[in-house]
Chain A
Amino acid sequence: MKLDRSHPADDRLIAVYFGDEEASEADRRSVRQHLHGCEACTWRYTELTAPLERLRRDAASEADEVFTSARLDAQCARIMGRLDAKTVGARVVPFPIGANRLSRAVIRRPVMRWVAAAAAAGLLVGLAAGRLIESDRGRVAQVAQTARTSASAPRLPVPSPEPAVAAESDEATLTEIEAAARSQRIPALSVLDQMTPHLRQDAVLVRAIR
């Protein structure tokens, strides 16, 4: 479409729509006057700017639908949180909470400290006394047990009126044992065997003494 010279071009119309500050006031006034008088240009201007206006409204509402007030609040909170971490630095979180509370209570109340110390001392004294008593009882019981044992224990063999008969029977038993042992002698143990005094020798020795 070839336009009359007086018809403003699209760019000029858009410039007017965007409020172009470079265009002089006189220029803008002349365009507006032309638009009032020229139906074709008014139609062109509307055709150009109405969709742009709709686009702007649409864009704003679209962004506002995504960034609701709640979301903006959360965003603000996150920004402040990040700034806290940046400005205040790392915070020491008291851990564990129970222990911290207890230690604070102990620091604030010296009476409680004394009570705790007295309880600990009492416990120690009690333990020590209990142990002493227990050890005394044990000693007494041991002495009594020793006495009982010595009273009931079999005495050392008293020489009987017929020693020869007993010696004869012992002799026979020992001889039997020795014979049995000798039959299964292990060569590796022979050295130990030689070092060990034999029962028979002992018996002969005892008889000789008698």
Chain B
Amino acid sequence: MTLPDGPDETLPVSLPDLPRPDEDSRIAAEVKALVREGNLEAARDRFSALVRRQQRRASRIAYHFLRDAADADEAVQDSFIKVFSHIESFREDLPFEVWFTRILINGCLDRQKARRRRGRWAVSLPEAEPGERSWVESVPAAGLSPEEALLLRERRAQIAAAVGKLPERQRTVFLLCHYEGCSSREVSGITGLNESTVRVHLFRAVRRLRSLLGGNL
């Protein structure tokens, strides 16, 4: 599933009544105005505030999608660059977060596809399993004994593998709804799916995860 990436015209016609523009949207509107004036230096400086506000959330989303820190890092960077490049197509009457998340998720999905294509031709290492790459980089939580840290890692690996087995739409909806706390209306705005379809995907995702993980969920 590739979500409509572009700007405003790709948004669904029956756009849900999304919340009114917030602080991020206000900053984005300022950046847009500065770019239009040709004051790129000032626009860049203002944009840095937007990056600061959104980057943690963006990194989380990208990491949950890609399960690889370096890949997620690059996806986030690319998304911000893309946002700045296309800031003139940002609609001030819509939340910036929705627009930005859509760009980010499309970037993540593209990367996943590229990875899958590469995976078809590349021979993986014997111990490398899907979703395991990031565990090398992940630092065990402070205060845990080695056994606890190992169990935590195993649990995370199981969950990541189960989430990775979800169909693309279910996974997207689940990650946005559950991990990021987006409402079905917001997910509808991000993905372009109908709100009721979002809910159906969410329920199916939860059901499937329960069956995949059993007692581990």
Q: Is the CB of A58 within 8 A of B199?
A: no
Which residues of B, 160-215, contact A by the 8 Å Cβ criterion?
A: 177-179, 181, 183-185, 195-196, 199, 202-203, 206-207, 210, 213
B120-154: which residues lie under 8 A (CB-CB) from chain A?
A: 134, 137-141
Closest to B35 in A: A87
Given contacts A22-B184, A55-B217, A82-B81, contact A63 B60 (CB under 8 A): yes
B98 interfacial by beta-carbon distance below 8 Å: no
Interface SS of chain B: helix, strand, loop or mixed? Answer: helix
In the assembled complex, the Cα of A66 lies from the Cα of B82 at a distance in Å of 24
A20 within 8 A of B: yes
Query: Which residues does chain A contribute within 8 Å of B155, judged by CB atoms?
Result: 58
Task: Give chain A's interface residue range (CB within 8 Å of chain B).
Answer: 35 or more
Given A58-B156, A62-B138, residue A75 in contact with residue B59 (CB < 8 A): yes
Q: Does A95 contact B (CB under 8 A)?
A: no
How many residues of B are counted as interface, with CB atoms below 8 angstroms from the partner's CB atoms? 49
For the complex, give the distance between the alpha carbons of A156 and B195 in Å.
130
Q: B217 touching A52 by the CB < 8 A rule?
A: yes
- 15 example contacts (A-B, Cβ-Cβ < 8 A) are as follows A19-B183, A21-B185, A22-B195, A52-B178, A55-B217, A56-B179, A63-B60, A63-B64, A64-B56, A75-B55, A75-B77, A83-B44, A83-B84, A87-B41, A87-B43
Give A contacts to B, CB under 8 Å: 10-11, 14-15, 18-22, 51-52, 55-56, 58-67, 71-72, 75-76, 78-80, 82-84, 86-88
